[in-house]
Structure 1
Amino acid sequence: MSEAPVFDRIVALLTREKASFRVIEHEPEGRSDRISVIRGNKPDQAAKAMVLDVRGGGGGRRHVLAILPGSRKLDFDAVAQHFGARKCGFASPETAQEITGCAMGSVPPFSFDHSLAVLVDPDLLAHTTIFFNAGRLDRSMEVDTQDWLRVARPVPVRVAMQPFGKPSSRA
């Protein structure tokens, strides 16, 4: 991990890439439902970022950053299936912090670790802008969705459960 705080690295990256974004200062909060209310965005616009531990299959063990709408739950089976793995779960808080440099609840939808693959559920991309905690519990960003896609370069994969707990279609 670089010596620069993650927040500063995101600001520098987005500025260098001429992305459209704004910083939002707020009280410390890491839960998607609560921070969406504080920021005034729809929960579906919140980019919830989770570090996962994917095991088995041809790839062995790997860590993955899954990004999904803040109002949705993760479909662990979809992530495992994408990687041909037999098991997927949350990485430990310690592992997630070691990989991302961020406390739980402040992990942004960016990877500064070349070994951390980034997946995004396509439903998040339906919005003009997305919101996320930016490496700090007291700072968020609103970023143009197309700019985020261009800069973060995630792989679109259906990883969110549909409302009411139904798995996503994997078509």
Structure 2
Amino acid sequence: MIRTNPVAGATPAPERADPVPAPDRADPVRIGDQLYDLLIRDLDAAGASYRVLDHPPEGRTEVVSALRGHSAAQAAKCLMLRVKMDKKRSQYVLAVIRGDARLDFAALRELLGGTYVAFADAATAESLARAPSGAVLPLVYASEMLLVVDTSLAESSEIFFNAARLDRSLALDTQDYLRIARPVLARISTW
């Protein structure tokens, strides 16, 4: 099933037939492992080129980038946001920007035609992402979310991100990422 995309001209993202359960605070490792396994199955099925990187548990972009041995500019920083569309409607957005960038709230608001943009509260963010903060994937596995990726992320040949766990990351070919994720691409960050 295809969900509609509120951005004019954007490609709709497919809805997952096998959703991952929301994180269980009593056992976040198990949920992270389930989402990680789903991610790997999806990447393998799509013929993606990636590398698995194990490292000490860390969710802060600058620190984990150093542990993985790459610049923060190659990190995919994932931000869970709530865009107020009008008085009664909101759209949850997963914004993915370079690790050394800052989100341009005004650009995202204008792109979506919203009235207000704010970070989603932690409980909602973890529920929608199916992962703990710091391990959010740059892919959408929840039908109620929209994926928007900053165009500057496409400048690297490879992107790095925590893979639903704080102790494991992926280095993923950027063109494979864009082909599989099918995000809305727009300039939504500043440096």
Fold-level similarity (TM above 0.5): yes
**Is 1:151 aligned to residue 169 of structure 2?**
no
- 2:40 match: secondary structure: helix
Corresponding position of 2:20 = 2
Write out aligned runs for 1:64-79 (5 A): 64-79=93-108
Once the two structures are superposed, residues 86-109 of structure 1 have per-residue CA deviations (whole angstroms, 9 ceiling, x without a partner) of 100100110011111111110010
Identity of aligned residues (%): 37
CA distance in 1, matches of 2:171, 2:136: 15
- Any conservation in 2 of the 1:58–1:84 contact (CA below 8 Å)? no
Aligned length: 162
CA RMSD of aligned residues (A): 1.4
Structure 2 stretches lacking a partner, 5+ long: 1-18, 22-30
C-alpha spacing 1:59/1:110, structure 2 compared with 1 (3 Å): farther
1:58 CA displacement: 8.9
CA distance in 1, matches of 2:133, 2:20: 18
Letter in 1 for 2:70: N
CA distance in 2, matches of 1:59, 1:79: 19
Once the two structures are superposed, residues 52-91 of structure 1 have per-residue CA deviations (whole angstroms, 9 ceiling, x without a partner) of 0100349920100000000011111111111111100100
- 2:114 match: secondary structure: coil
C-alpha spacing 1:63/1:116, structure 2 compared with 1 (3 Å): same
- Any conservation in 1 of the 2:163–2:169 contact (CA below 8 Å)? yes
Letter in 2 for 1:72: A
**Is 1:119 aligned to residue 137 of structure 2?**
no
Choose which of 118, 139, 147 in structure 2 pairs with 1:110. 139
C-alpha spacing 1:133/1:8, structure 2 compared with 1 (3 Å): same
CA distance in 1, matches of 2:123, 2:20: 17
- 1:88 match: secondary structure: strand
CA distance in 2, matches of 1:59, 1:148: 33
With 48-57 and 2-11 compared, the bigger mean Cα shift is at 2-11
Once the two structures are superposed, residues 136-169 of structure 1 have per-residue CA deviations (whole angstroms, 9 ceiling, x without a partner) of 11110000000000111111111111x2xxxxxx
CA distance in 1, matches of 2:90, 2:163: 27
Q: TM-score normalized by structure 2? A: 0.81
Write out aligned runs for 1:1-171 (5 A): 1-3=19-21, 5-57=34-86, 60-161=89-190, 163=191
